[in-house]
Structure 1
Amino acid sequence: MELHVVIEGTKDLTGQLYRQIKDAIRTGRLAAGEKLPPSRLLAEQLGLSRKTVAEAFARLIFDKLLVGQVGKGTFVSDVARQVKPAETSPGFAGAAVAERWRSMPTPLRHAGPAGLLRFEYIGGAPARSLFPHADWRRCVLHALRQSTRSRGTYGEAEGLPELREAIARHVAFSRGVRCSMDDVIVTHGAQQALDLVARVLVEPGSTVAVEEPGYPPARQLFAAQGAHVVGIPVDAEGMQVEQIPEGTRLVYVTPAHQFPLGMPMSVARRKALLARAQAVGAIVIEDDYDSEFRYEGRPTDALQSMDRHGCVAFIGSFSKTLSPDLRLGYLIAPQAILQAVATAKHLSDWHTATPTQMALAKFMADGDLLRHIRRCHAVYAQRRESIMRRLGSDLAPWLECVPANAGFHLAALCRQPIDMDMLLRLARRVDVGLYALDGFYHFSPPRPGLILGYGAIETADIDPSLDRVRDILQQMG
């Protein structure tokens, strides 16, 4: 790869080269430790004499910007770089829009590995230790072999046919969804599926109804599209659908495992939601983010399976069943928006990475996904039981568990006033990561409580960590 240097004219050639390399180092374009081309090669690339290049290198070495290593070459030294970003013009026309995006809170953005604690109750993170590395490696190698036969063209925006067929079979088997592969669009996680539906339905001023409390990234995404977002309260049966206003264009719900409180939407409420959506002409987004993990009670079909008027868009994600690293999800789109969403997908990123799709299609076709879900289910069930047992015993004076029969997080509401900021702060001091429910409320005063994810914490760590939480609550009085 050539070093980007532009030499103009025939004057001060050494100075031009010296100043450009110096500027590249100071602005960070050349990182510390970066190896420069040999002087002979750089001279040929720039049409200069080798002596000119050697003199520029010598000046940079004298200024301690470069360092020569005998037998290895010339490298950028570990100098302090003074990176100065270009200042934006005061008349920047898009300043207001950019500021609106910059100032948006991101309550569910996960910290990097360095920011995680020993005992983590962060929500939405599956068990990393359970990831089937050997099975996935085998499927990735299969995908790479298949890729060698590719003609090197772009794929279908809707996704790889083999994967779409596997997804259609999976959701029909596990969730009772009524669809064929033609209804499936492969996405970069559930979040892109939400974005695609919003792109084709939401205009500035459109009314979108969301759950309150609910999933902040969905609410923020709809608001960013210019929607008038309305929060609809939830109760023990789910969203109170009678409060969905006239003129609503889109309704976002999590009926299998309400996020973040966890209760399922009752059958009666589901029927009422479908009737209300038909009455106002709305499309319902059913976010089925983690319902593969069910622990008690009779299973309920997806809301989409009850839909007789083509108004439900079913969204799923492999971030919860496998890993967020894969960034794979899917949308089962109703006919009314199917082609529009496919066009939006094509225009936004053309298609999801083909080798990854090939690997997942193989993983699902071989039965590895269902086996992995069963393994995770057994572990999550044990962790869930441990947390519920503690919430029903020594933590009961302070916290009350919200009934939930799916997913891999529980919500616990406060029975008495607790200084939640202090609790979270003191818990971090003893290496316990706790997270409050406050950030999931937007339209109403929050109910104080905790969201306890049990994907990222090991089973053996639950009791010791909750012992620390109990001790803190006792000390707080």
Structure 2
Amino acid sequence: MVLALELDIRLPDKNTGQLVSQLHRQLRTAIVSGRLRAGTQLPPTRKLALELGISRNSVVAAYDLLLSEGYLSGKVGSGSFVNEMRGLRSGQRRRPDSDFTSLIAPLWRRPPTIPSTSVPKTVSYDFRFGHPDVAHFPHHIWQRLSGRAMRQALRRGEEAGPPEGLQVLREAIVQHASFSRAISCQPENVVVTNGAQQGFSLLAQVLVQSGKTVVAIEDPGYRPARLAFATAGARIMPVPVDAEGIVVSKLPRDAGVIYVTPTHQSPLGVTMSARRRTELLAFAETHSAVIVEDDYDSEFRYGDRPHDALQTFDESGVVFYVGTFTKSMFPSLRLGFVVSPPWASDALIAAKRVADGQCAAILQATLADFILEGHLARHVRKMRSVYSTRNDTVLKSLIEHLPDLLEPIPTSAGIHCAAFFRTPVDINDVINRATNAGIAIEDLDRFWVAPPPRSGLAFGFSAIDESRIKDGIALLAKILT
């Protein structure tokens, strides 16, 4: 294919005798730099001469030089093509990579690793947590609503939506949060995000002063949230967790931000007690700190009375509530939200505008209809029953097959449960044995900042049914004992 030669070729006056050498040099530079890619057919000599306002003989002479030097192949008159230039091309200068690493922020010179979400092909028993059971999701309803949202968007010819999210979705989120979590908020205080992780990143940008702000996090805790604050330059302070949740008495007095998962602690699964919640809110008010409440799988409760969100009891405007639809619907949805105190809403919306402008409008409209028509509430009720049975199956199987090895941690919510080893073990050896047997399982050690006092395992049950839960734990017991 012959391409127009869109190069800024500047030639001297015709009387200087430099036409051929200058044309040759500029074409060679374009080839060496990659501006003219391998396989590109140069314009015919007659056409290029006409475009440049010079004689055809001058163009033929320049092409002949490039042919003789190996930059072109073919013959003048039948087409001339740019050759592949392998190795270090003449005219290029390349500095070693080490010259550039100083430009990378220190945290990213050895990027922190986040476990892969993909399932290895060799896995027979998938106990990883955070992966909802999509087989039960009403895909046909979602498809119908998505098609309707697409047609409506095309008819309206709308431009990009507001950074804080479509009004209809924010109103739907207010209704959902009020019904499911007793949260009282207004649409103007809701910011729609691309998943909970973007919510953490936006909050880190708004709340953290690099090198100054102390962020207290649960230890063990959810690592991606910790990294979001760390990349913003926060001083991370791990705080221990016990059977009642984060230990408020261990919070640093200069903490500016406190990150917690009160309804279903990640990864231990404990629920923060009412007494501890009162202490935490009082601490934040007394020390002028804010709380980031991650309520990632609170919809799924088993046998226990509902626990209201921390934000429900916040009378001082110190709690930022982060929610997501990933766990209750399907992972690739990637939509979440932040309920912000009124004093921080404008800053959070501005940060969202800078980050990516907006979330996908058609996806937002589809989700709004899914909530407002009651499909989300029905799906959550259905999955609460499914997950409750699986949670019981995990606990019974651990008691039956591994009573002397693992001590389950009681939980009344969420889509995973955890267990501590009763005696010291080589956790890497345990994980390797499980992996070799086709069992994908999470170890608790990687959630700690400080050295873990006890090793343990976390059993996700959202992506595995009851029969395979029993078989998988029986097999785990066999390879460990």
TM category, shorter? 0.7 to 0.9
Which residue of 105, 111, 117 maps to 2:123? 117
Aligned equivalents of 2:316, 2:261: Cα separation in 1: 19
Q: Where does 1:358-397 land on structure 2 (aligned, <5 Å)?
A: 358-397=365-404
CA deviations over 1:359-379 (Å, ceiling 9, x no partner): 111111111111221222222
- Could you say what the CA RMSD is over the residues aligned between the two structures, in angstroms? 3.6
Query: Cα offset for 1:235?
Result: 0.6
Which residue of 152, 160, 175 maps to 1:154? 160
Aligned to 1:207: 214
Which ranges of structure 1 fall in alignment gaps of 5 or more residues?
Answer: 31-35, 64-76
Name the SS of the counterpart of 1:314 in structure 2.
Answer: strand
Aligned equivalents of 1:448, 1:333: Cα separation in 2: 36
Aligned equivalents of 2:71, 2:120: Cα separation in 1: 36
Q: Which runs of 4 or more aligned residues in structure 1 lie more than 6 Å from their structure 2 counterparts after TM superposition? A: 1-5, 12-23, 36-40, 46-49, 59-63
Aligned to 2:434: 427
The question of 1:296 aligning with 2:292 is answered: no
Aligned to 1:173: 179
Q: Where does 1:182-201 land on structure 2 (aligned, <5 Å)?
A: 182-201=188-207
One-letter amino acid of the structure 1 residue matched with residue 312 of structure 2: S
CA deviations over 1:169-201 (Å, ceiling 9, x no partner): 001101111112122110111111111111111
Distance 1:443 1:418, change over 3 A: closer
CA deviations over 1:96-142 (Å, ceiling 9, x no partner): 643422424324x3243456722111121111322321111111101
Name the SS of the counterpart of 2:326 in structure 1.
Answer: helix
Aligned to 1:145: 151
Distance 1:110 1:81, change over 3 A: farther
The question of 1:271 aligning with 2:274 is answered: no
TM-score norm. by structure 1 comes to 0.83
Count of residue pairs the alignment pairs up:
443
Which ranges of structure 2 fall in alignment gaps of 5 or more residues?
Answer: 11-19, 75-83
Distance 1:396 1:338, change over 3 A: same
Aligned equivalents of 2:147, 2:472: Cα separation in 1: 40
Name the SS of the counterpart of 1:153 in structure 2.
Answer: coil
Aligned-residue identity in percent: 36
Aligned to 1:132: 138
Distance 1:151 1:454, change over 3 A: same
Query: Cα offset for 1:445?
Result: 3.0
The question of 1:460 aligning with 2:460 is answered: no
One-letter amino acid of the structure 1 residue matched with residue 118 of structure 2: G
Aligned equivalents of 1:3, 1:270: Cα separation in 2: 68
Aligned equivalents of 1:24, 1:414: Cα separation in 2: 60
Aligned equivalents of 1:19, 1:136: Cα separation in 2: 52
CA deviations over 1:243-295 (Å, ceiling 9, x no partner): 22222111000000011000100001000000000000011011000010101
Name the SS of the counterpart of 1:342 in structure 2.
Answer: helix
Aligned to 2:253: 246
Contact 1:121 1:435 in 2 (8 A): yes
Which residue of 331, 336, 360 maps to 1:329? 336
One-letter amino acid of the structure 2 residue matched with residue 132 of structure 1: P
Aligned equivalents of 2:413, 2:259: Cα separation in 1: 19
Name the SS of the counterpart of 1:319 in structure 2.
Answer: coil
Aligned equivalents of 1:2, 1:375: Cα separation in 2: 61
Contact 1:185 1:331 in 2 (8 A): yes
One-letter amino acid of the structure 2 residue matched with residue 195 of structure 1: S
Name the SS of the counterpart of 2:267 in structure 1.
Answer: coil
